[in-house]
Amino acid sequence: MQKRWKSAVMACMVAALPMTAACASTDTTEVPASTSSGVAISADARTGRGEVMRTDPGLDTWAAALPDGTDITRIVYRSTSGVDGAATAVSGAVFIPSDERRPDDGWPLIAYAHGTTGISRDCAPSDRPDMFGDLGAVDDFLRRGYAVVTTDYQGLGIRTGESAAHPYLEPHTAAYNVIDAVRAARSVEPSIGSQWFAVGRSQGGSAAWATAEQYADYGDDTGELLGVVAVAPLLDATYLVRNAQDETLTVAQRYLYPLLVQGVAQGAEQVTPADHLGAGVTPALSCSSTGTALATQPAPPDAEAFTAVTSAAADELMDTVQSYALPREHTEVPIVAFYGSRDDIIPPDVMQLTLTRACDVDHRVLRVRREGQGHSLDPGSMMAKWMSDRLAGHVVPSDC
């Protein structure tokens, strides 16, 4: 899994007892009445989770790049907003390996959550010929014998029609989008088995982690979530807000910060972007024909351009971003988290403190530091082995 995963992530940056799988209830009447943030889930959203609204063929460029015999379906499915509990439409894609290798109990599934692309509707990987570089990861997973479902997240995608905006890093929305993608994938392709993983990096690492935390309440009828792989996960962005006020944002962080502010504001009306992005900050919010919004950001100004206009505005943004921060809730789902010692977006000391909080709430986490690597780190062969060990029922390693 090492080589192809590395090629994909470099293209998309912010791209003693037997193990008992974490199992959600199969009683579909046990649908949560509200999000874990306290927002009531509408009756419409409760009854429609994962319902497929539309299917389209996979793109020709995908078929050419993926193994022969891969069955590809682009989907639009129903999910739930973690902001207001309303039903939403989300796009994504389903990839099935060649039938000749199908296990008797069905394909194990990877629900793949992508890294930061942008915050507008034209930033969905499933609408792009190269999926913003994620085709390499999909190819790798397929060759390893996994089916794959991808989610574009709420608010990213041109096939959904009018949809709610993308609330960048809001964890409940992200988790619901991933979990409902699993429901949708199974309705499209019954050859998918009951066991699945959530895998993601950067923004997607946060989405995968949130999936672990929301699985017990929201993941009924999705089968067994065997584990989560979070690569350079952007779990807690409060340090970015703090660095902005201290005028200590690194150059890499200054590229990301405008998208953070604008994206958070899309899910939190109390945040006003103009209060945080000063003169000379002209962020690209949409994706171009050739790249993500993050990749096409203009060169950022000096760090002082990102201080809030008032302390009250800074506090409002900090409080909102803090309300999105992970980890938040105990989960029985095993997690492996990879991070780099030279990450200039999420410094290793920040990541270490964040992962320590996971241990404090009794998560089963294996923390893997990659020396000399940055935000686009390669998790190497350990990722593939960790996942195959979960499928085999081996003991779950944890260093908490």
The predicted pLDDT at position 5 comes to 53
Rounded mean pLDDT, 112-123: 96
Residues 285-307: tens digit of each pLDDT: 899 888 999 888 888 889 999 99
The predicted pLDDT at position 172 comes to 96
Residue 7 — pLDDT band, cuts 50, 70, 90? very low
Rounded mean pLDDT, 45-54: 94
The predicted pLDDT at position 152 comes to 98
* pLDDT at 260 exceeding the cut of 90: yes
Residue predicted with more confidence, 40 or 265: 265
The predicted pLDDT at position 301 comes to 87
The predicted pLDDT at position 29 comes to 37
Cα angle 128-133-134, degrees, rounded to a multiple of 5: 90
The predicted pLDDT at position 1 comes to 55
The predicted pLDDT at position 265 comes to 96
Residue 26 — pLDDT band, cuts 50, 70, 90? very low
Residues 52-63: tens digit of each pLDDT: 999 999 999 999
* pLDDT at 247 exceeding the cut of 60: yes
Rounded mean pLDDT, 205-234: 97
The predicted pLDDT at position 235 comes to 98
* pLDDT at 10 exceeding the cut of 60: no
Rounded mean pLDDT, 222-226: 98
* pLDDT at 36 exceeding the cut of 60: no
- Per-residue H/E/C for the chain: CHHHHHHHHHHCCCCCCCCCCEECCCCCCCCCCECCCCCECCHHHHHHCCCEEEEEECCHHHHHHCCCCCEEEEEEEEEECCCCCCEEEEEEEEEECCHHHCCCCCEEEEEEECCCCCCCHHHCHHHCCCHHHCHHHHHHHHHCCCEEEEECCCCCCCCCCCCCCCCCCCHHHHHHHHHHHHHHHHHHCCCEEEEEEEEEECHHHHHHHHHHHHHHHHCCCCCEEEEEEEECCCCCCHHHHHHHHHCCCCHHHHHHHHHHHHHHHCCCCCCCHHHCCCCCCCCCCCCCCCCCCCCCCCCCCCHHHHCCCCHHHHHHHHHHHHHHCCCCCCCCCCEEEEEECCCCCCCHHHHHHHHHHHHHCCCCEEEEEECCCCCCCCCCHHHHHHHHHHHHCCCCCCCC
Residues 122-160: tens digit of each pLDDT: 999 999 999 999 999 999 999 999 999 999 999 999 999
* pLDDT at 389 exceeding the cut of 70: yes
> What is the C-alpha separation between 111 and 350, in angstroms, rounded?
27
* pLDDT at 253 exceeding the cut of 50: yes
Q: What is the mean pLDDT of the chain?
A: 90
Rounded mean pLDDT, 272-296: 90
The predicted pLDDT at position 40 comes to 84
* pLDDT at 334 exceeding the cut of 50: yes
* pLDDT at 12 exceeding the cut of 60: no
> What is the C-alpha separation between 266 and 82, in angstroms, rounded?
13
The predicted pLDDT at position 20 comes to 35
Of 11-25, 285-299, 374-388, which one has max mean pLDDT?
A: 374-388
Under a CB-based contact definition with an 8 Å cutoff, are residues 177 and 207 in contact? Answer: yes
From the list 288, 303, 204, the residue with the least C-alpha distance to 252 is 303
Residue 271 — pLDDT band, cuts 50, 70, 90? very high
> What is the C-alpha separation between 361 and 351, in angstroms, rounded?
16
Residue 353 — pLDDT band, cuts 50, 70, 90? very high
The predicted pLDDT at position 147 comes to 98
The predicted pLDDT at position 326 comes to 97
> Going by DSSP bridges, is the β-strand pair 22-23/224-231 parallel, antiparallel, or unpaired?
antiparallel
Residue 273, Cβ density class (10 Å: 0-12 exposed, 13-18 middle, ≥19 buried): middle
